Structure 1
Amino acid sequence: MTELVKTIIVTEDIRLKQLELSDANEMFTTIDRQRDYLGKWLPFVAFTIDVSDSEDYIRSVLAVPAEKGDFVFVIRYKGDFAGLIGFKNTDKLNRKAEIGYWLSEPCQKKGIITSSVTAVMRFAFEEMNINRVQIRCAVGNFPSKSIPQRLGFRFEGIERDGELLTGNRFTDIEVYSLLKNEFLSAGN
């Protein structure tokens, strides 16, 4: 995307900054130091073996024209790299998008993802004119699926063998959604 870098102020300690090539080193270092933790649920960890892999991912995000691309943000907690959050499979015609996220292990249980998802939903509904936001989580990934549950998303069902994890094993995926009118009526 070639437009200006977007920053979302979530709280005094949490900032979301649109992903840039300069984020590759911190992103790779975080992945590399937490392979076991992150790799349990994130298949890309096994394929991220060098900083150039992170650079290639970022280039692939940036290469998509703004009108067709997905916003991806670095999560900064107290100024430090904490993870990523963003949209994938955005369907502008049908005004729907999926939110994906991952967070460094030391940053867990601080409300960072819950607050960041709320901020990204507000961005989707107010600035992107999205009507439906979806979050998909592996059935056994309790920390991840607690986010949509906590934020009032509706559980829609199970996508059987919906994601191929590291080790060439499939996992079922829980699908959650929230509509713009539900978000607004909840006082957000």
Structure 2
Amino acid sequence: MYTQPLGPGAELAPLEPWQAGEFLANLDRCRSHIAPWVGASFLATDLESAEAVLRRYWDAQAATGAGIHGIRLDGVLVGGVMFVSIDTATGVAEIGCWLEPAAQGRGLVTRAAGLLIDWAFRERDMRRVIWHTLSANAPSISTARRLGLTYLEPDDSGDEPMEIWSITPEQWHAPRPERHPPIG
């Protein structure tokens, strides 16, 4: 298994179905915080449903490279980033994230999502990475902006107003020093 450093005591590594207990414990610690922002199918409530969530991403990773990656701080799972989807026919990948409140403000999601975006462009030759978020989710929108994503369009297909943010390889590879907070 690989791990990527994200800063002092922080790392990014794949989440696998056998880690369902750790994943469920993380969700239990941040459930009320993330529930307004993530889909109900993500919010596992028991070990079986936690394993099912991780298995969906594990299967997607095997098929397209889409997958889920945990952010650990001092060895404890505090959140993560994932490819919600990778569509090789259109060249579009969708990225998502979640994080416990105690781990916020350290740039962990920004750095972790940056690693996934970079991989999507360099290794999977994606033409666009998108970020769906509810319009009311100010922290998510701030992260999208820090990553250099630009507002693409509203998504009014659901019950609540959503936004789609986007970045292309050309935009990603353009110099932007503020995009990646320094590790440390």
Superposition TM-score, scaled by structure 1 size:
0.84
Structure 1 residue 7: Cα displacement? 3.3
Between the aligned residues of both structures, percent identity stands at 25
- Tell me what 2:123 maps to: 127
Q: How many residue pairs end up in the alignment?
A: 177
The Cα RMSD (Å) is 2.1
Paired residues of 2:41 and 2:53 also in contact (CA < 8 A):
no
Q: Unmatched 5+ residue regions in structure 2? A: 178-184
Rounded Cα–Cα distance in structure 1 between residues aligned with 2:129 and 2:142? 16
Within 5 Å, give how 1:137-156 maps onto structure 2. 137-156=133-152
Deviations 1:32-63 (A, max 9, x none): 23322121222327852212110111122223
**Is 2:164 the counterpart of 1:175?**
yes
Structure 1 residue 65: Cα displacement? 6.7
Rounded Cα–Cα distance in structure 2 between residues aligned with 1:21 and 1:70? 15
- Tell me what 2:3 maps to: 7
Structure 1 residue 6: Cα displacement? 4.2
**Is 2:102 the counterpart of 1:106?**
yes
Paired residues of 1:39 and 1:45 also in contact (CA < 8 A):
no
What secondary structure sits across from 1:186 in the alignment? coil
CA distance 1:131–1:19, change in 2 (3 Å)? same
What secondary structure sits across from 2:64 in the alignment? coil
Which one-letter code corresponds to 1:177 in the other structure? Answer: S
- Tell me what 2:32 maps to: 36
- Tell me what 2:83 maps to: 87
Q: Unmatched 5+ residue regions in structure 1? A: 163-169
CA distance 1:161–1:96, change in 2 (3 Å)? closer
Structure 1 residue 21: Cα displacement? 1.9
